[in-house]
Structure 1
Amino acid sequence: MSNIARFGRKSFLSVVVTIVAFAIPAPSIAQQHEPGEAYPQHQRAEQGQSPSGNVVGVSRESPPVVASDVASSSDKHQDKREEKARKWLEEALSGIKITDVAMVIFNGCLAIYTWCLWRATLLLAKTGEDQLGVARDAAMAAQKSASAAIGLETPKIFLNSMSLERATTLEECLERPQIAIAVKNHGRTPAFLIESCVDVNAGALPSEPVYRNVIPLPVGAVLEAHDERPLDAAALMGSRIPKQARTAIAEGKTFLWVYGYISYRDFLGGTHVARFCKRFRPQTPGSKEGWDDGDAPKAYTKGY
């Protein structure tokens, strides 16, 4: 064992011995000689008693206890306790090295540091999750704001006008109806047109629209912002409505439906479809001739 280890061990033993010695209470004079306890023979002789306990010509009163004797006796007992504690600790710690004690202390400190590090990492992870949530919300808000800004700038085409051209009676006009249709771009940017379609139906509408008269538009066809454009409805001239259906429409017993769509692209390349559907309403004693939305299925007017 090196001198440093030997010195450390002696110092450690001295501190422990001192603590143990002071922790053990010192016996008092009363504890050393209880009342009625027999004194040793030489003490009896000094106090004038015979070994049998009889008084030999002296007073029975005990001599006064001197303070120095009490202090000396207490010191002796203290020394004995320290010596006993030292021997006990030396036997108990004879196999313990100062390096082992240092290693135990180091491992304890390492365990405490590891726990503190784990706690700090846990708090850091929680803070990171909160910050990630805030960043995600901010990104979603920014995306919605950008989408809204783009939505304000994209073209938006809607049906602007529809009319039935009449030169004769209503029944004759309905045989091969001539309908003027116009759409308008209500957006802020141009719409690049793709194709359009206009169809008619006498009577109830099917649940899903059937587009028969699809007309591709010329390449480069553009509808500028706030401009209006007529749709080609010439194909309707070939759609002959039977006489019975024309009579029912003129009498208000059934309806004439005109529906269609126009597709286009925006400045970002996104494709859009604007659908429309109107119901012809003949003149009756209670109403004027005209067009309304009626109760057309949503598939006829749903755009994107």
Structure 2
Amino acid sequence: MLALFKKALLFLSLIISSACFALDEPPKSFTNPQQSENNSRQDNGPNYTKTQHGPPKSDGERLAIIWDRTFDDPVAFFTFVLSCFTLALVIVSAIQIRFLIRGDKTARITAEAADLSAQAAIGIELPRLFSSVKVNRVNDSLWSVVISVTNYGRTPALVTHQSADISHEPLPSTPQYNAIIDVGPGTIIPKDGVRDLVARDNNSLSVFTDESIRPNTFFWVYGIILYRDFINKKHGAKFCYRFVSLNESGSGFMIVPEGPEAYTESY
């Protein structure tokens, strides 16, 4: 790019120098056409015949006249040089604009790649919390639900809030965590560490009975655990399970990890 700019500058300098030399030439003396004709009459005597010069008719004649006047008339020549100079500036400007656009595009791609690389490097080190459910029989007719949250990431998770709810009604479109708890400072889940959450219903009861799993019925266990990573960025791990009966008698049940997206999408 620099070499091309130097060549263009040298070319323009030569053109300007030529224009200066052309302007230094003495102007041609102006001769009256009538006086020129009288001189021709005197030189040729009785053999003089007036020649009629009409306007040029063909394109070739017009171009020839323009070409002759360009190099004979200093003003016309300087105008020609100025036109060449302007054209060269347009070409150089177009080349510079093209390189600026390419440079801007390259800079954007490089910045995006660097940002993705930084996010990937940080993402590898972030804590990752995943949940599992455990059901314990309290007595012949009572069951308790415990949610175990495990950190499968590479750094500890600083827990700030947690909630595990039991609901016997259809879930609303927006999660409503009724049993959310503000966890005290300094509560962390280290790498490969586990933290248990006890599920509770609206009455703060952490158990359910066999009657809760009647045939053709089910209930939900859902919740969230809020935490911060090592760069103090907030995250939330959500979970949702559906308890359904296995048979018509309601003597057994199974746990299905499913629910609306608003109840399962972590961030």
Shorter-chain TM-score bucket reads 0.5 to 0.7
Deviation at 1:300, TM superposition (A): 0.9
Correspondence for 1:290 among 226, 233, 254? 254
Indicate if the aligned counterparts of 1:182 and 1:228 stay in contact, CA closer than 8 A: yes
> Is 1:253 paired with 2:216?
yes
Partners of 1:214 and 1:189 lie apart in 2 by: 24
The corresponding residue for 1:206 is 172
- In 2, distance between residues paired with 1:193 and 1:290? 30
Shift of the alpha carbon at 1:7? 8.4
User: What is the identity, as a one-letter code, of the residue corresponding to 1:290?
Assistant: M
Q: Counterpart of 1:262?
A: 225
Corresponding residue for 2:17? none
- TM-align CA RMSD: 3.5
Cα distance in 1, alignment partners of residues 24 and 240 from structure 2: 104
Which residue among 187, 212, 222 is the counterpart of 2:188?
A: 222
Q: How does 1:63-78 map to 2 (within 5 A)?
A: none
What's the counterpart of residue 167 of structure 1? 138
Q: Distance in 1 between matches of 2:253 and 2:195?
A: 24
Name the CA distance, whole Å, in 2 between partners of 1:256 and 1:202: 5
What letter is aligned with 1:275? K
Distance in 1 of aligned mates of 2:25 and 2:228: 92
Change in 2 beyond 3 A, CA 1:9/1:258: closer
Show CA shifts across 1:235-257 (max 9, x none): 777338898xx53x433321121
Deviation at 1:8, TM superposition (A): 4.4
Aligned length: 208
Kindly state the Cα deviation for residue 288 of structure 1 after the two structures are TM-superposed: 6.3
What TM-score, normalized by structure 2, do the two folds share?
0.66
Mapped partners of 2:201, 2:235: distance in 1: 23
Deviation at 1:103, TM superposition (A): 4.1
1:125 to 94, 97, 114: 97
User: Partner amino acid for 2:104?
Assistant: L
User: Which residue of 1 is the match for residue 115 of structure 2?
Assistant: 143
Percent identity, aligned pairs only?
31
For 1:41-80, what aligned pairs fall within 5 Å after superposition?
Answer: none
Unaligned runs of 5+ in 2: 1-22, 31-42, 52-71
Residue 123 of structure 1: how far off its partner (Å): 1.8
Deviates more, 1:147-156 or 1:224-233: 224-233
CA offsets, 1:36-64, max 9 Å, x none? xxxxxxxxxxxxxxxxxxxxxxxxxxxxx
User: SS of the counterpart of 1:165?
Assistant: strand
Contact 1:203 1:254 in 2 (8 A): no
Instruction: Identify the residue that residue 77 of structure 2 maps to in structure 1.
Output: 105
Q: 1:231 aligns with which of 197, 200, 223?
A: 197
1:301 is aligned to 2:264:
yes
Given the superposition, is the C-alpha separation of residues 109 and 255 from structure 1 closer, same or farther in structure 2, using an over 3 Å criterion? same
Rate the CA distance shift 1:275–1:6 in 2: closer, same or farther, 3 A.
Answer: closer
Q: Which amino acid aligns with 1:193?
A: V
The aligned residue for residue 185 of structure 1 is: 151
Q: Give the one of 281, 300, 303 matched to 2:244.
A: 281
Deviation at 1:275, TM superposition (A): 0.5
Which residue of structure 1 lines up, in the alignment, with residue 68 of structure 2? Answer: none
Q: Which moved more, 1:138-147 or 1:191-200?
A: 138-147
More strand by share: 2
